[in-house]
């Protein structure tokens, strides 16, 4: 199949994935999980909201938890290169026929909210309140010792269409999975920051959030988290791993928060800084695609995900099935 031509000079520039907002059913349980189990630092909290960041992050938050009757994902946030990029982005998405809203987001300055081709809410900002560096305050490290938010993965009803939408404003494919029968994209990984991905798309009922990922420094952080979760009441929240992905080469673990939102703990992928980086192709039924060591993912990993607020879920256009653990 032919991939879209790389757009090295988009109309506006996205720097990286910045943050995610999750609606949770019990704010205290979620705060406990994300701060004391996964290891986020709390930067602010009210009765109904908690703001958190990881150890290397200088921005005020990379995760916002909001109390809600319905667990869901409210939005995914991206940082742009400059203030001017926000104004250009407004015109860009208006030309695409997308709804545009300038919103008030605490600790962020001008913030532009719009929607992607499947209706996923995405927001863009340039300036967020900066906090003092804590990456050398080792007494604060706990849980998985997360350093930063790395990426999100979304279930898409048409991966090819999602790739085209994000490719048009500068996201670049690093790896992809093809169904050899139909020659259609089954999954794709796209980046802006020079890693394997800031956003990825997996074929499935959607749009839904499949997971968001936290970067840790080494696999031992993942092993330590497994020991902690298995002895502190969170054994059933361990879904998949540890293992090493074929795609991305990352060492991984997937866990579920108290509402079932999936979080990947992740390290050891590779740089993709070169503008002529050639995407790596994987066949859907390659046993080393999911896990380099050959272990397939459980059924839940392909079926369960987090809804977006008020966004209807549809069946995927591609019916091809991956290898699933028995």
Ordered structural domains, the chain, with CATH: 14-131 (3.10.180.10), 143-307 (3.10.180.10)
Angstrom distance (rounded) from CA 69 to CA 310: 13
Contact 152, 17 (CB under 8 A): yes
Phi, psi of 152 (to 5 degrees): -125, 155
Residue whose entry in the numeric block shows the structure tokens 């390659």: 286
Distance separating alpha carbons of residues 80 and 307, to the nearest angstrom = 25
- Least Cα distance to 159 among 254, 284, 243, 252 occurs for 284
Q: Structure pTM?
A: 0.97
pLDDT in tens, the chain (326 residues): 689 999 999 999 999 999 999 999 999 999 999 999 999 999 999 999 999 999 999 999 999 999 999 999 999 999 999 999 999 999 999 999 999 999 999 999 999 999 999 999 999 999 999 999 999 999 999 999 999 999 999 999 999 999 999 999 999 999 999 999 999 999 999 999 999 999 999 999 999 999 999 999 999 999 999 999 999 999 999 999 999 999 999 999 999 999 999 999 999 999 999 999 999 999 999 999 999 999 999 999 999 999 999 999 999 999 999 999 98
Quick one: which of 187, 200, 191 has its CA closest to 273?
191
> What's phi and psi for 88, nearest 5 deg?
-65, -40
Token duo for residue 208: 């839904």
Measure the CA angle with vertex 299, ends 144 and 149; round to 5°: 30
Q: Please tell me the distance from the alpha carbon of residue 62 to that of residue 39, in angstroms, as a whole number.
A: 13
């Amino acid at each position: 199949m032919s991939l879209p031509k790389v757009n090295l000079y988009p109309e506006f520039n996205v720097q990286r994935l910045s943050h995610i907002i999750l609606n949770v059913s019990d704010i205290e349980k979620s705060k406990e999980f994300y701060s004391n189990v996964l290891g986020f630092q709390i930067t602010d909290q009210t009765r109904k909201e908690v703001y958190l960041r990881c150890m290397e992050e200088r921005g005020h938050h990379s995760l916002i938890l909001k109390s809600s009757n319905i667990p869901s994902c409210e939005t995914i946030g991206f940082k742009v290169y400059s203030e001017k990029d926000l104004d250009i982005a407004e015109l860009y998405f208006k030309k695409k026929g997308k709804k545009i809203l300038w919103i008030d987001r605490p600790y962020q300055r001008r913030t532009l909210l719009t929607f992607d081709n499947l209706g996923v809410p995405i927001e863009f900002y340039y300036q967020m309140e900066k906090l003092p560096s804590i990456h050398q305050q080792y007494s604060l490290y706990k849980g998985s010792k997360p350093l930063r938010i790395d990426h999100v993965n979304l279930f898409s009803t048409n991966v090819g269409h999602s790739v085209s939408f994000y490719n048009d404003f500068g996201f670049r494919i690093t790896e992809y999975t093809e169904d050899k029968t139909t020659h259609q994209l089954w999954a794709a990984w796209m980046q802006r920051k020079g890693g394997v991905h800031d956003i990825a798309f997996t074929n499935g009922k959607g749009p839904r959030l499949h997971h968001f990922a936290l970067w840790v420094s080494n696999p031992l952080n993942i092993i330590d988290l497994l020991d902690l979760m298995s002895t502190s009441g969170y054994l059933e929240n361990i879904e998949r791993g540890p293992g090493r992905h074929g795609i991305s080469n990352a060492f991984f673990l997937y866990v579920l928060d108290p509402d079932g939102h999936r979080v990947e703990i992740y390290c050891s992928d590779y740089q993709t800084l070169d503008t002529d980086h050639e995407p790596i192709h994987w066949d859907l039924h390659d046993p080393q695609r999911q896990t380099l060591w050959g272990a397939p993912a459980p059924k839940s990993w392909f079926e369960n995900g987090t809804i977006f607020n008020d966004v209807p879920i549809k069946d995927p256009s591609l019916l091809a099935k991956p290898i699933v653990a028995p």
